[in-house]
Structure 1
């Protein structure tokens, strides 16, 4: 009986999802948060441009010293904050934050700044996507670039600026990427989000 229990335990270990050496076992990325100057403008942009659907709204919450509570772990950084969570296709959700009368830095971070980030939207039709963005007055930063070799062979990408100035990206690899020919672990992709 002890042998059978050991065998079952060993088989379970071999068939389980890849394990992590330490820390939190993350099932996936739930959402990406982004600060925006105007919540309604951002919701409209993500909805009209990418088909994202606003699902939840909360706030505004006051962020003054009395509203934050005596044991608050952060300094008041604005008068209030409002949040919205958007569902975007089969990918991660996008959480939008609008801070009223922010005391924070109002300069848009440059791509090379520590802490700067961007959202990349997948499309099977990057040329059509670029044409649409341009037709809406969105600044597209150059022309789409297709990677000719290496791990990202077959990937096409181009960056653009949202209406409020955040740098974002369109990316496409309908025939896959070069690394997939040899890698045991595959990156998430929209066509097969569970794999």
Structure 2
């Protein structure tokens, strides 16, 4: 570990996402992704500068509801529904500063993509086979109903990078 690294940093704990409609997101997380709903909190609002000091949002922002989901026995999603004066309604593109996507591993990429199509979700192109260090991996992006970018990725035989590491 580098001397500049955060002492004791061990792993990712959770991923926080803001959605426009928590009920719609609940259906997506539980019915499409198969995540387990854990619990709900909220609403939260403050009459002081707590929101800007702790969450980097405007002080008059209200966090209406917050739900937690567990996916695959490990990943935790913290999903927020906010009400804010100048809230952006569209999620950022991958090319925007702050752009992002959530990558999910699947055993059978073709079966997963077929299911996304059956559910009427927007799949971005056809699965792509990676090359170089990621050879052995296939992936495809898709969008949640509100525009969150997700990626399905599969490499059941491992990636070239992993095989190289094993040989060393």
TM-score, normalised to structure 1, is: 0.75
Aligned length: 162
Tell me, yes or no, if the aligned pair for 2:52 and 2:59 is still in contact at 8 Å: no
Tell me, yes or no, if the aligned pair for 2:137 and 2:153 is still in contact at 8 Å: yes
1:131 aligns with 2:114: yes
Tell me, yes or no, if the aligned pair for 1:60 and 1:82 is still in contact at 8 Å: yes
Give the Cα–Cα distance (whole angstroms) in 1 for the partners of residues 31 and 38 of structure 2.
Answer: 15
Within a 5 Å distance, the mapping from 1:42-191 to structure 2 comes to: 42-63=25-46, 66=47, 68-69=48-49, 73=53, 74=56, 75-76=58-59, 78-147=61-130, 149-183=131-165
RMSD in angstroms over aligned alpha carbons? 2.0
Structure 1 residue 32, shift from structure 2 partner: 0.8
TM-score, normalised to structure 2, is: 0.87
Tell me, yes or no, if the aligned pair for 1:77 and 1:103 is still in contact at 8 Å: no
Within a 5 Å distance, the mapping from 1:11-26 to structure 2 comes to: 19-24=1-6, 25-26=8-9
Instruction: Give SS of 1:151's match.
Output: helix
Higher Rg of the two aligned structures: 1
Structure 1 residue 79, shift from structure 2 partner: 3.3
